[in-house]
Structure 1
Amino acid sequence: MDHALALAARGLGRVWPNPAVGCVIERDGVVLGRGRTADGGRPHAEPLALAQAGAAARGATAHVTLEPCAHHGRTPPCADALVAAGVARVVVALRDPDPRVDGGGIDRLRQAGIEVVEGVRAAEARALQAGFLSRITRGRPMVTLKLATTLDGRIATARGESQWITGPDARAHVHAERARHDAIMVGAGTARSDDPRLTVRGLGAAHAAGTQPLRIVLSRRLDVPLDSALMRGGPPVWILHGRDAPSANRDALSARGVTLLPCATDAGGQIALDDAMAELGHRGLTRVYCEGGGTLAAALLSAGLADRLDWYSAGALIGAEGIPALGGMGLARLADAPRLRFAGVERLGPDLLHHWRRD
């Protein structure tokens, strides 16, 4: 199962809207076939592993990180494929809460006389599937909020200089995290001031050749410059905007191939983040990596929509005149402050990365 989980992890950011699943088929400790959900979401892991194993799968054990599917979609049910291959035993890490499955795959295996063992490495599988589980059970993707600051919590000098606060090891880690998410998201202010590309770089030809995450901007009035780096080719761009965005801006961005997603606005006239995240979930996204800026970061935390916070910090100090990592949160009482659970720390060259999670 550890082997299957490692295979599944390779699919993160590459298989949405499907879950990243791994499958290992073995007999007496000898691996006969293995597979992971292919880029784009199909073929699924089980038929790929069965194809490798061939006739040797009969009487063998299949280890699968998520319950085999039991419904007909663009591919036949994986549970049926395991039955047809004649496996004797299936070890499942986690049940699939998708209403089209939700125990149906396991029932089908047992009805065929196959032994099913559940719950092996369930906690690890649940962590791996956090994005998919969020989309299925909450209707929205898992959101990872990334901040990179000085030791005193500043993201730039008063003049806006921010490159580079953290060192090359931390920046390389960020690109690896981008690659493990379906999309990278920023606010319109960051899109205008930083002119980011929001692409994965430095990880080899595979990501340069078309397995890049989507790029998402929240811009109520669609005021993203047409000459920005986002508009000069690259992975698809989605913009979440208010329903009252100027029609001229809609037409200009649509002509550039941008996907426009109208959303409700809140009492303050800003995009309603719960509606925006529900729209992304409806379109199949499971894992979104948010890179700012401070206003969007504060809004996500205040709304309880930041599931994970990855805080990179460098041993530099800017002082009070620097730009803070978080915008205003309107807190009058400490008791109202969002609370996160510490989940670990790692050293990246001269910098530190603190992991925080929302329970």
Structure 2
Amino acid sequence: MPEPGGYAAAMSRALALAHNGPATGINPRVGCVIVGVDGSIIGEGWHRGVGTAHAEVDALSKLGHGAARGATAVVTLEPCNHTGHTGPCSVALIEAGVARVVYAVSDPGHASGGGAARLRAAGVDVIGGVLARDVQDFLDDWLTAARLGRPFVAVKWASSLDGRIAASDGTSQWITGTAARQRVHEQREASDAIIVGTGTVLADDPSLTARGDGGELLAAQPTPVIVGTRSIPSDAAVFRHPHSPVILPTHDVAEVLRDLRARGFRRAYVEGGPTLISAFVAAGLVDEYLIYLAPSLIGGDRLALGDIGVTTINEQRRLEITSVEQLGSDLLITARPRQAAASTHSEGT
């Protein structure tokens, strides 16, 4: 059996398996490998979504009776310690007779966490933090949602270099080019929900679908969420979306996120308009900013953001830029609130 520091390769394999799981939904993507007493991998598994076997149980199911006794389970996330759609993985591992459990990142869930302590209490050797940074980056949106009890929130806007999202007559198509717009559709596809205000629906009549280069619908579609109290025409394009839209007649963005969490949504993609985006920013409910900048100047008062509660320069919302990417002639700047970015970087250290 490898020494405690020798499980990086097995954890890397478990992380590769985790990528097979669904990128949306309330459950995390988790991978697991079972390492035999001779150091070879004897079982593999991953979590396929709500109601299916967790990664540890999936891996154990590939083994014959008693084959896991004395083995090591290497799993990307701390084994769960609660009964939901399935039983606790910590108990399954104990009953299988594993001698050691190696995991990367602790489970921050109030109900699901604590598996490591339960395993130790049963006499299982437990090692945490193996490849923690890699797994933290992979599970970032789920970990944030689990820690905060709400969906991970990404806000997106496209603007000119001087921060305008439309000309004075209201026209806005197209500020950015095709490469940037296609990236937006890919980001929509990776989200559980796409959120806009009633003002955007009334002004632009968007379909809120995720589409490919040829206009075809992509395999995964975000659920459209319309926030606000104004009525929407019954023939609006959003009602032809593959998923029925969620209509939330409120201006309370925290209430919106509570509703979406109850629906099992992990990642919310806020597209606008500026009133709605500003409300999320002002409430401190943004985890990631996706800002598309076009090399143009428009001028006027059609700004990407309105009032976010900053009255003096000392109150400005400080961000940390995590990446800058060129898409055609446009830039995609990804940023996070500075405090959240610092917390992310310290995870697992």
Class of the TM-score when normalised by the shorter of the 2 chains: 0.7 to 0.9
Residue of structure 2 equivalent to 1:79: 90
Identity of aligned residues (%): 45
Residue of structure 1 equivalent to 2:108: 97
Residues 148-206 of structure 1 deviation map (CA, whole Å, 9 limit, x = unaligned): 222222222333333333233323322222233221111111122222222222399xx
Q: Does the Cα contact within 8 Å between 2:192 and 2:223 map onto a contact in 1?
A: yes
Q: Structure 1 residues 54 and 147 mapped into 2: Cα distance closer, same or farther (>3 Å)? A: farther
Match of 1:240 among 245, 248, 264: 248
Residue of structure 2 equivalent to 1:298: 278
Residue of structure 2 equivalent to 1:117: 127
RMSD: 2.8
TM-score (norm 1): 0.79
Residue of structure 2 equivalent to 1:150: 160
Q: Does the Cα contact within 8 Å between 1:12 and 1:180 map onto a contact in 2?
A: no
Residue of structure 2 equivalent to 1:344: 323
Paired amino acid for 2:44: R
Q: CA deviation at 1:240?
A: 1.6
Residue of structure 1 equivalent to 2:292: 312
Q: CA deviation at 1:305?
A: 1.0
Q: Does the Cα contact within 8 Å between 2:166 and 2:298 map onto a contact in 1?
A: no
Q: Structure 1 residues 4 and 350 mapped into 2: Cα distance closer, same or farther (>3 Å)? A: farther
Q: CA deviation at 1:354?
A: 1.2
Tell whether 2:172 aligns with 1:170: no
| Structure 1: stretches of 5+ with no match in the other structure | 243-270
**Structure 2 counterpart SS, 1:212:** coil
Q: Does the Cα contact within 8 Å between 1:135 and 1:284 map onto a contact in 2?
A: no
**Structure 2 counterpart SS, 1:324:** coil
Q: CA deviation at 1:208?
A: 4.6
Cα separation, 2, equivalents of 1:157 and 1:197: 22
Residue of structure 2 equivalent to 1:226: 234
| Structure 2: stretches of 5+ with no match in the other structure | 1-10, 340-349
Cα separation, 1, equivalents of 2:23 and 2:207: 18
Residue of structure 2 equivalent to 1:68: 79
**Structure 2 counterpart SS, 1:239:** strand
Cα separation, 1, equivalents of 2:62 and 2:190: 26
Q: CA deviation at 1:288?
A: 0.8
Match of 1:161 among 164, 171, 174: 171
Q: Structure 1 residues 117 and 293 mapped into 2: Cα distance closer, same or farther (>3 Å)? A: same
Residue of structure 2 equivalent to 1:335: 314
Q: Structure 1 residues 301 and 114 mapped into 2: Cα distance closer, same or farther (>3 Å)? A: same
Q: Does the Cα contact within 8 Å between 2:208 and 2:241 map onto a contact in 1?
A: no
Tell whether 2:255 aligns with 1:275: yes
Match of 1:355 among 334, 337, 345: 334
Cα separation, 2, equivalents of 1:6 and 1:187: 38
Residue of structure 2 equivalent to 1:23: 32
Paired amino acid for 2:73: A
Residue of structure 1 equivalent to 2:196: 186
**Structure 1 counterpart SS, 2:165:** strand
**Structure 1 counterpart SS, 2:107:** coil
Q: CA deviation at 1:93?
A: 1.3
Tell whether 2:304 aligns with 1:325: yes
Q: Structure 1 residues 282 and 54 mapped into 2: Cα distance closer, same or farther (>3 Å)? A: same
Paired amino acid for 1:34: E
Q: Does the Cα contact within 8 Å between 2:20 and 2:48 map onto a contact in 1?
A: no
Q: Structure 1 residues 233 and 145 mapped into 2: Cα distance closer, same or farther (>3 Å)? A: closer
Q: Does the Cα contact within 8 Å between 2:164 and 2:300 map onto a contact in 1?
A: no
TM-score (norm 2): 0.81
Q: Structure 1 residues 132 and 330 mapped into 2: Cα distance closer, same or farther (>3 Å)? A: closer
